Amino acid sequence: MSNQLTGYQDDNQTITLSFASSKDLILKVLTNEIIQVFQDHGCPTNSYAIEGNKQRKTNYTVENKGDHIEVRTGALIVKAYDDAKLDVYDADGNPLVLDYRGKREPLPTDMDDEHRKTVMSEGHAVHAKANPDNVNFEVIKSLAKDEVFYGLGGKTGFLNKRGYEYDNWNSDVPVLHNETETHLYKSIPVMYGLKNGHPYGLFFDDTYKSHFDLGKESDNYYYYSAVGGNVDYYILGGHTLKDVVANYTYLTGVVPLPQKWMLGYQQSRWGYSTSDQRVESIADGFAEHNLPIDVIHLDIDYMYGYRDFTWDTTKYKDPKAFVQKMKQRGIRLMPILDAGVKVDDKYDIYKEGMEKGYFVTNPDGSVYVGSVWPGDSVFPDFGNEDVRKWWAKHVKFFADMGVCGVWNDMDEPANFRAKGQLPDDLVFHDGVNISTHAKMHNVFGHLQAQATYEGMKQATGKRPYIITRAAYAGTQKYSTVWTGDNTAVWSHLQLAIPQLNGLGLSGFAFAGTDIGGFQEDTTPELLTRWIEASLLVPLFRNHSILGSRYQEPWAFDKQTLDIYRKYLNLRYRFIPYLYDQFRHETESGLPVMRPLVLNYPDDQETRNLNDEYMIGTNILVSPIVNQGATKRLVYLPAGNWIDFWNHAEYSGQQYIMADAPIDKLPLFVKANTVLPWGNKVMHVSDDPEKVMTFRLFGECGSTKHYQDNGQDFKYQQGEFNEYYVEVTEDGHVAVKLTKHGYKPTYEKIYVETDRSRYEFTYHADTDEYELVNER
């Protein structure tokens, strides 16, 4: 007997579907393009990804069609059937998400328990059982022949996730990452699909360990499963793939506008922080070799015995004065902060946390003791709001020191005991409820980032610079991310592009990889190609592990140094454009760095393109990612494209062969684009810029340019300027200040075309720019 659909209730955009032998399914219409699907499995319903009420007043209808109930908005149609089956269509009736009517058919295997032990004893990886006993529920959807999948944050593998399986369980994975690694440091359970060319998204808001099989097991279906939590997912519609991505960031939040200097170059190494002299020697190296830089990162050695919120004064005579000294040189310092708190009865953070009951406990009520860098360590219960406020209060330590931000690490949370994890049954708060590590694990880093962000914001009044290794959906509201402990191998340079594009599609517009590779020894060629490939990646940081080959720009030959300098200087020229793109991101919810498929979803050639990326809609980057290569095929999508270096113009929707000697990054600008062009500087200054240049690529074009103080939140009260720069087909050039909310303006603006250079001067009395020179 089927599980009959017996009726429904419609109450103010919430439709409750009743079934004869299963729990109710609840459809909640949030917007015209977003519908939540919920089934209560007895877990608290608070979301860590979504803040505030996202429901808008929406026109919709509910009708009993006889064999199904139909819910219709202006953009989505949901049909509910017996057996709690749901089918989702767009407004034109194109199928998007259809429940699978058959049964799963696990991949055949000749592995039995006896052989499993034998194979594992030699060190081989063995996949888990096809039907693990602890799965709480599965959501199985039909798979079309041409369906492709994107998203899932920073998972390994390729841009298109079809044919692979992934887990959501944040883990410190110090081995070489490849496409067989199902989970890394972040759990971002959002996926996007193109089914017969029609876009949709699914966001599963469940913090328990979960699993995606995106067509690996079968060409007929894909599925999501979780070991706990409620059935709680969001159907994301939209006319275009961009609309679908914007609907996801509408739910989970956008990356806030960064401080402008955060887009500058950053140098890091586990080992720099052993002393102030070592840090200063790195700064001296950048000055000596005429290399621009904005941030040096301090890894764990600056701390006193790896204790959080301490600074070892035997290594740094006067840390606060040293931070200020470096700032006067134009270099900010960014210290690391780990999740584990050292067990030490004389350590104030440990004592205070123990007295207030702020650390995670065993089921018997005793405080759990794990091990991280300080040795025996305890872990803050970040699910408790009071603990987050306590942590935020102590973050003021860094603000008082004058550092530029906080770099959260080991916040999966990592543990040197219990096979690298905290036990599932440890007791955490889940807001006002008591829960376990099994539920709170994937949001540990998210909540630590939230506390750190709020602490720095309260202490400084500036836009906080937080970096985190671990994340969940929505962490982008609080923190930048990097992809974790990559390796100095060519496959990881190749992996970087789809990883970062996946993060961008999943809300993380500010992300990067460790340039050159963190683990193992890089080579001059690999480092060169990595700095080229990262030219326009938002987080622009070189980082390496203690004991590996030094990978500062001057650690190799003169050619490597010269090319590195070339691309650092070029990066600073592009910072105004990147800053404009971040302003657009805060308004549109779309990533700055993005795969071509986001801009050209109807172009089949973009759907599996792993080695190119775009910045916004007008810049195309096609890095060299193979050892020894000096040319490559570049796919140019629709439109005309101009080679950045020689201004040769190509029509789109074709592959071209691009020459790429060791010092050349294949880089293309869409024809008739106007780019803001930064000044040649060694650091991004806090002082307002007085001169700005705009470069035209093509015959005509226009752009809207954004300016504010680059530091705090005054722009949210309207303290910003907007400029409109246009070059018309007949050669007329105009510069207009279309909004003047930030007092400083550019005193001079230059517009450069292939024919002339136009100089404009600002007149405060008229609030206008006048053309004063053309040459």
Confidence grade of residue 121 (pLDDT, cut at 50, 70, 90): low
Q: Structure tokens of 768? A: 């206008």
Look at residue 122 and tell me whether its pLDDT is greater than 80.
no
Question: CA–CA separation, 229 vs 250, rounded Å?
Answer: 23
Burial of 28 per CB tally in 10 Å (0-12, 13-18, 19+): middle
Q: Residue 775 carries which DSSP code?
A: -
SS (H, E, C) 213-268: ECCCCCCCEEEEEECCCCEEEEEECCCCHHHHHHHHHHHHCCCCCCCHHHHCCEEC
For 510, phi then psi, to 5°, come to -110, 100
For 651, phi then psi, to 5°, come to -80, 155
Look at residue 1 and tell me whether its pLDDT is greater than 90.
no
Look at residue 128 and tell me whether its pLDDT is greater than 80.
no
- Point out the least confidently predicted range of 68-72, 116-120, 520-524, 699-703: 116-120
Q: Dump pLDDT digits (tens) for 394-443.
A: 999 999 999 999 999 999 999 999 888 999 999 999 999 999 999 999 99
Q: Write down the pLDDT at residue 135.
A: 87
To the nearest whole percent, how much of the chain has pLDDT over 70? Answer: 98
* Catalytically annotated residues: 409, 412, 485
Look at residue 129 and tell me whether its pLDDT is greater than 50.
no
Residue closest to 403 by CA, chosen among 519, 306, 316: 316
Q: Write down the pLDDT at residue 130.
A: 45
To the nearest whole percent, how much of the chain has pLDDT over 90? Answer: 95
Residue that has been written with the tokens 């015995």 in this structure: 305
Amino acid, res. 300: I
Contact 732, 701 (CB under 8 A): no
Residue closest to 189 by CA, chosen among 251, 104, 257: 251
Look at residue 132 and tell me whether its pLDDT is greater than 60.
no
**Mean model confidence pLDDT for the chain:** 96
Q: Dump pLDDT digits (tens) for 64-85.
A: 999 999 999 999 999 999 999 9
Q: Structure tokens of 370? A: 């794990």
Q: Dump pLDDT digits (tens) for 572-594.
A: 999 999 999 999 999 999 999 99
**Residue 542 CB contacts under 8 Å (≥ 6 apart), including other chains:** 265, 266, 267, 268, 514, 515, 516, 531, 551, 552
Q: Write down the pLDDT at residue 565.
A: 98
Q: Write down the pLDDT at residue 85.
A: 97
Residue that has been written with the tokens 């209560």 in this structure: 40
Q: Write down the pLDDT at residue 110.
A: 85
Q: Write down the pLDDT at residue 2.
A: 80
Look at residue 718 and tell me whether its pLDDT is greater than 90.
yes
- Give the length of the chain: 775
Overall average pLDDT of the 327-348 stretch: 98
Q: Dump pLDDT digits (tens) for 33-56.
A: 999 999 999 998 899 999 999 999
Contact 323, 401 (CB under 8 A): yes
Q: How many helices (H) and strands (E) does the chain have?
A: 12, 49
Pairing mode, if any, of strands 406-409 and 466-468?
parallel
This prediction has a pTM of 0.97
Q: Write down the pLDDT at residue 126.
A: 61
Catalogue all structural domains in the chain, each as residue range(s) with its CATH number.
1-44+54-93 (2.60.40.1760), 596-670 (2.60.40.1180), 687-774 (2.60.40.1180)
Q: Dump pLDDT digits (tens) for 235-291.
A: 999 999 999 999 999 999 999 999 999 999 999 999 999 999 999 999 999 999 999
Q: Other CB atoms closer than 10 Å to residue 206's CB: what's the count?
A: 28
